[in-house]
Structure 1
Amino acid sequence: MTGFSRHRRSGAIFATFSGFEADLLRSLAGQLVELLRNEHAAQIEVDPFEALMDFSGPTREPEDPVLARLFPTAYRGDEEAASDFRRFTEQGLRDGKADAASLIIDTLEEAGLPPELTEDGLMIDVELDEPAALTWMRSFTDIRLALATRLGVEEGDDDYWASLPDDDPTAQAHDIYDWVGYLQETLVQSLGG
């Protein structure tokens, strides 16, 4: 497992993933896209100007704990202001997060990840320019927040996770959470230098 690095000459940011790692990233990003867009999948096409002027977005905090974590209430003490803020901003934020996760999927597939992984030993080389790297970094944050929420990860609970047996599915999911954190950290370092 390697993380991201910056090529000294070209300045491009790159990483090499095994087929399994690339497929796992695609799956995580796909699940995030599905969660973000699930409520709006059946919407009909509308005029672009009408869509731009539509301020009928959600007004209440999402019931799903992951969505509530990704879109926290802006004004805890003022329900009306919180409702207005959510109505005017949440749909755009959802679309931005879904588009960022979709970029991960598209980049992996453009780099050679097949629709279904059947080949052992497949390696996927990903090269990102700086804007794409920033988008991946933001999406890694969303993926980690989603995983942390589903797993119940809390600050200072490292001993608990270390105490779980390796074959525990929850421990394995936490390993994925750590791995995405490692990728994010190496991506941040690559962007900084």
Structure 2
Amino acid sequence: MPGHFEPLPGGGAAVALDEVEISIIRSLAVQLLELIGPGPAENAPDDPLAELFAEGPSEPPSDPVLQRLFPDAYSGPDVEARSPEEQRAHSSEFRRFTENDLRAGKRDNALTVIRSLDALTPAGDGGAVLELSPAQSEQWLRALNDLRLAIGARLDVVDEEDTELLYRLPDEDPRKPMVLAYLWLGGLQETLVETLMP
């Protein structure tokens, strides 16, 4: 079980994590929460119905990580031939009505990671076995994906070739710790996907 998820009887997944691994995942999840920002509830007026009808931003975020986490819905090579103006208008409208919910989902996933790590009872070596319910496993999977997207954006990973270049970075490269985290999280994510497959 060390370093990879395994299925639990009755559903869910488990992984043994040492003290350093717990600290790294928790720190990355906290940073992701800070990047995503507070939910509308923190800034909402006293009227609880106002939050239900709050509209999100209509412009894409300027931060490359947030652009990766919240991409335009109507742009890119797979979109039908539309004028750039039409693509921007459709993307803007879609973002306005969906981004708040997307951010809330990503916040919930990151919070599930943090809370489940905080609830661990460490063994004598500081490590612990994390056991997740099926629902928590799915939230962890989405959070691991978001963490990898965020780190990948910082490392300018766009395609498989970029990932291959990361393996060849010299040890003295300042990006090396981030690369190791990116690759390690990818391994965790892959074993969690395998665990959740029927």
Work out whether 1:80 is the aligned partner of 2:89.
yes
Please, what is the CA RMSD of the aligned residues?
Answer: 2.2
What's 1:130 paired with?
Answer: 134
What's 1:111 paired with?
Answer: 120
Listed as ranges, the matches of 1:19-30 within 5 Å are 19-30=19-30
What's 1:63 paired with?
Answer: 62
Distance 2:164 2:3 in 1: 25
SS of the equivalent of 1:169 reads coil
Against the structure 1 CA distance between its residues 186 and 89, is the aligned structure 2 distance closer, same or farther, given a 3 Å change threshold?
same
Distance 2:180 2:38 in 1: 27
Work out whether 1:185 is the aligned partner of 2:190.
yes
Distance 1:51 1:38 in 2: 13
Q: Could you tell me whether the CA contact under 8 Å between 1:17 and 1:125 is conserved in 2?
A: yes
TM-score, normalised relative to structure 1: 0.87
Amino acid at match of 1:170: R
Amino acid at match of 1:100: N
What's 2:80 paired with?
Answer: none
Against the structure 1 CA distance between its residues 164 and 91, is the aligned structure 2 distance closer, same or farther, given a 3 Å change threshold?
same
Instruction: Give structure 1 regions of 4+ aligned residues with deviation exceeding 3 angstroms.
Output: 9-12, 38-42
Distance 2:6 2:130 in 1: 11
Amino acid at match of 2:134: E
The alpha-carbon deviation at position 95 of structure 1 amounts to: 1.0
The number of residues matched between the two structures is 186
- Gap regions ≥5 residues in structure 2: 76-83
Amino acid at match of 2:11: G
TM-score, normalised relative to structure 2: 0.85
Q: Could you tell me whether the CA contact under 8 Å between 2:74 and 2:91 is conserved in 1?
A: yes
1:15-37 Cα deviation digits (max 9, x unpaired):
11001001100011110010001
Distance 1:108 1:164 in 2: 31
The alpha-carbon deviation at position 100 of structure 1 amounts to: 0.3
1:140-181 Cα deviation digits (max 9, x unpaired):
111000000001123213453233222433122111100000
What's 2:157 paired with?
Answer: 153
Amino acid at match of 1:176: A
Against the structure 1 CA distance between its residues 85 and 170, is the aligned structure 2 distance closer, same or farther, given a 3 Å change threshold?
same
Distance 1:19 1:168 in 2: 25
Amino acid at match of 1:130: P
Listed as ranges, the matches of 1:37-48 within 5 Å are 37=37, 43-48=43-48
- Gap regions ≥5 residues in structure 1: 114-118
- Percent identity over paired residues: 38
